[in-house]
Amino acid sequence: MVLGCVIHGQGDLRVEELPEPEPAPGQALVAIRYGGICGSDLHYHRHGGVGDFRLREPMVLGHEVVGTVVAYGEGATGPAVGTPVAVHPATPCEVCPECADGRANVCRDTRYLGSAARFPHVQGGFASRIAVPAAQLRALPDGLDPRRAALAEPLAVALHAVRRAGAVKGRHVLVTGAGPIGCLTIAAARAAGAATITATDLLPRALEFAAAAGATSCVRADDPDDPHWPSEGVDVAIEASGVAAGLDTCLRRVRRGGVVVQLGMLPPGQSPFAGNVLVSREIELRGALRFHTEFDDALRLLAAEPSFDALISGVRPVGAAAEAFALAADRSQSCKVLLDFA
């Protein structure tokens, strides 16, 4: 029996039996073990959409999945049957100008697991068995526990954001928002050699996770008198909260001529921002979306760093998906929550 986690509309999440998937030519059949609940999954559940994308039909959620190869469809090859694998969630078109330019993460015609960006929606990975293009499979590096490997997708997002920032070695990096993506961005900045990493959040528990990820200083975002605010402008600021106030903090706290990376997905429509600060201090504002080859870098980094386990704050069986989603949404106690499909 294949159990899947299907979103039918705002607030209507169901665990239901799905038809047994058949791998088409070029596809692999994967038995999913763990799936990480992402902020975007929570948005589909709570708001019926994420960013500017709305749900228009039932969709299996999930794009942070790890499992084992079960079989291949006609003509498909990849890691041997039985190999533990992570699934790269993107299938770029490979022919558009962005793909040709090596920027497949902004491909105009990509297919991304569990995303309503196109119609029909691309069904996601929160199911006990899924069929995906075999080219999306990545064998786990030796010794990498599948549970930790479930962080590969969000860590790849974080590695890409740090890459977009440019040089961070020896620099001071500010990360606003210490949810799972913010914490993984802190870990990615640390891995890239940042000398000082300041994290901000409204919640004490989130800042504890930030410290575990490698933040050297943690600040209550709502307390202008917090003594841990950087005394000088930071070199790089990465906005990972997805709220306009976070972007404002980044623009006001970055040094003259510094770089701000907007990584968090802001609310739909327009967001206010301090454009004149951008001009008068000649700040570079850059967007960061998803990732491309950083997925492989993420798997290597996870294999080398057991400390990432501290960011997995809960694991729940797929049958308790509603509870798992509520737990993941409760930032006063959770960082990354996984569903277990075994």
> Which residues form the interface with Zn ion (CB under 5 A)?
38, 92-93, 96, 99, 107, 154
**CB 100, min distance to Zn ion, A:** 8
**CB 342, min distance to Zn ion, A:** 21
Q: 322 vs 13, 41, 95, 182, 311, CA distance in Å?
A: 7, 12, 40, 24, 21
Contact 58, 71 (CB under 8 A): no
Nearer to Zn ion, 206 or 263 (CB): 263
Nearer to Zn ion, 7 or 218 (CB): 7
**CB 239, min distance to Zn ion, A:** 17
**CB 103, min distance to Zn ion, A:** 9
Taking phi first (over 0 means left), then psi (-120 to 50 degrees means alpha), and beta for anything else, what does residue 252 get?
Answer: alpha
Nearer to Zn ion, 38 or 122 (CB): 38
**CB 247, min distance to Zn ion, A:** 20
**CB 223, min distance to Zn ion, A:** 29
Tokens coding 33 = 């073990």
Residue whose pair of structure tokens reads 């709220």 in the numeric block: 243
Contact 85, 144 (CB under 8 A): no
**CB 281, min distance to Zn ion, A:** 32
Q: What are phi and psi of 232, to 5 degrees?
A: -125, 170
DSSP 265: P
Provide the 3-class DSSP secondary structure of residue 186.
helix
Nearer to Zn ion, 66 or 99 (CB): 99
Give the Cα separation of 192 and 195 in Å (integer). 9
Nearer to Zn ion, 124 or 246 (CB): 124
Nearer to Zn ion, 96 or 303 (CB): 96
Give the Cα separation of 70 and 83 in Å (integer). 9
Give the Cα separation of 190 and 170 in Å (integer). 10
Nearer to Zn ion, 183 or 219 (CB): 183
* Spatial CA neighbour of 192 closest among 170, 209, 164: 170
- Other C-beta atoms lying within 10 Å of the C-beta of residue 332: 9
Question: Exposed/middle/buried for 29, CB within 10 Å: 0-12, 13-18, 19+?
Answer: buried
Nearer to Zn ion, 93 or 117 (CB): 93
**CB 306, min distance to Zn ion, A:** 22
**CB 7, min distance to Zn ion, A:** 15
* Spatial CA neighbour of 251 closest among 227, 231, 234, 228: 234
Nearer to Zn ion, 76 or 328 (CB): 328
Q: Which residues does 223 contact at the CB level (< 8 Å), separation at least 6? A: none
Contact 137, 78 (CB under 8 A): yes
Fill in the amino acid letter for 319: G
